Homo-oligomer: A and B are copies of this chain.
Amino acid sequence: MVIILKSNPNQKQLDNLLSWLKSMNLGIHMSEGANTTLIGLIGDTSGVDMELINALDIVETVKRIQEPYKNANRKFHPDPTVVDVAGVKIGGGNFQMIAGPCSVESKEQICQVALSVKESGAALYRGGAFKPRTSPYAFQGMREEGIHLLLEAKKVSGLPIVTEVMDISHLPLFEDVDVIQVGARNMQNFELLKELGTLRKPILLKRGLSSTLQEFLMSAEYIMAGGNENVILCERGIRTFETATRNTLDLASIPLLKSMTHLPIIVDPSHATGIAKLVKPMALAAAACGADGLMIEVHNDPEHALCDGAQSLTPEAFKDVADAVRAILPYSFKGEQ
């Protein structure tokens, strides 16, 4: 970390700053230029509150030279992490498709879709049991019963399952779940992240609606700092001024995150766009720029056909996407050599 001081800093405040920095066991390297004085900090600065220093009267600016994330940092872990989910590998060249319905609705539905997406090539099965809904009056998911139905689908299909947790107190229900998902709205639910760090189960961490990439990695770091290195990142769109799509899918984050971290990164084109017809082109684009996998909503509702046109794909449409993705993969971006 480098602190650039204003010209002619107040000596008393400077002394206070220096003694405070020393109290954190940091090496200090002063360098006085013509009209600028710089303080270089040597040692572990990950606990230093940059914003606080930046706000001091005598400080012009402060810059990290090292990133504030350690466990997630590619610099200290150049090889890509491969997360193993019950034998299914994600990352480091292993591309996987996760598919399934937004919500668990019934045993028949959840098992039928599972068999169908498995046949189309999905390696993991997703379904929502606990559903974060903007409105308290909207369907909140089948909750505990939903988890049981997902486990039925797992038994029937053999696919490992991914489902979202919303509160620490529900974790005992997730014992047989293969991947625990943290939703975008909980990306900075730090107490939950800490708790997930005590597990050894893979965690699928979704990027928050207004999270920078650095904040995203710091949330992964919360989990990893607890000892759980099995983190899969998921880009699912950010909130911008554009309302033509539900969110703005930030695909440049994929290659950029890959240069910052060794963790696998997948893309959720369904939630990112909210529009079924955009799922295929964005799935292809995600694969092309180097994502390690996709998470796609697939629904079947032959009786009501209510979801036609929504963000969910039919099992047939998913097959079409999966085939196209497999075809494009050999030509996709493989990283800087």
> Which A residues fall within an 8 A CB radius of B?
2, 4, 12-13, 16-17, 20, 27, 29, 31, 33-36, 38, 40, 42, 46-47, 49, 51-52, 55-57, 60-61, 63, 65, 68, 132-140, 166-170, 185-186, 188-194, 209-210, 212-215, 218, 221-222, 225, 238-245, 248-256, 259, 272-278, 280-282, 284-290, 304-311, 324, 327-328, 331-333, 336
Would you mind naming 12 contact pairs between A and B with Cβ atoms under 8 Å apart? A17-B306, A47-B139, A52-B306, A55-B276, A168-B169, A169-B169, A185-B188, A238-B240, A238-B242, A240-B241, A245-B256, A284-B333
Give the residue among A2, A42, A52, A289 with the most B Cβ atoms within 10 A: A289
Among candidates B138, B222, B243, residue contacting A243 with C-beta atoms closer than 8 Å: B243
A336 partner residues in chain B, CB cutoff 8 A: 277
Copies in the complex: 4
Among candidates B31, B46, B47, B239, residue contacting A33 with C-beta atoms closer than 8 Å: B31
User: In the complex, what distance in Å separates the CA atom of A320 from the CA atom of B238?
Assistant: 31
Given contacts A213-B242, A284-B332, 14 further A-B contacts (CB under 8 A): A20-B306, A29-B34, A52-B307, A56-B309, A134-B188, A170-B191, A185-B188, A212-B244, A239-B241, A244-B253, A245-B256, A281-B333, A328-B331, A328-B332
A287 partner residues in chain B, CB cutoff 8 A: 288
A306 partner residues in chain B, CB cutoff 8 A: 16-17, 20, 52, 56
Q: In the bound complex, do residue B4 and residue A218 qualify as a contact, i.e. CB atoms below 8 Å apart?
A: no
User: In the complex, what distance in Å separates the CA atom of A14 from the CA atom of B140?
Assistant: 26
Chain B: CB-nearest residue to A250:
B248
Q: In the bound complex, do residue B308 and residue A56 qualify as a contact, i.e. CB atoms below 8 Å apart?
A: yes
Chain B: CB-nearest residue to A49:
B138
User: In the complex, what distance in Å separates the CA atom of A239 from the CA atom of B248?
Assistant: 11
A35 partner residues in chain B, CB cutoff 8 A: 40, 42, 65
Q: In the bound complex, do residue A65 and residue B36 qualify as a contact, i.e. CB atoms below 8 Å apart?
A: yes
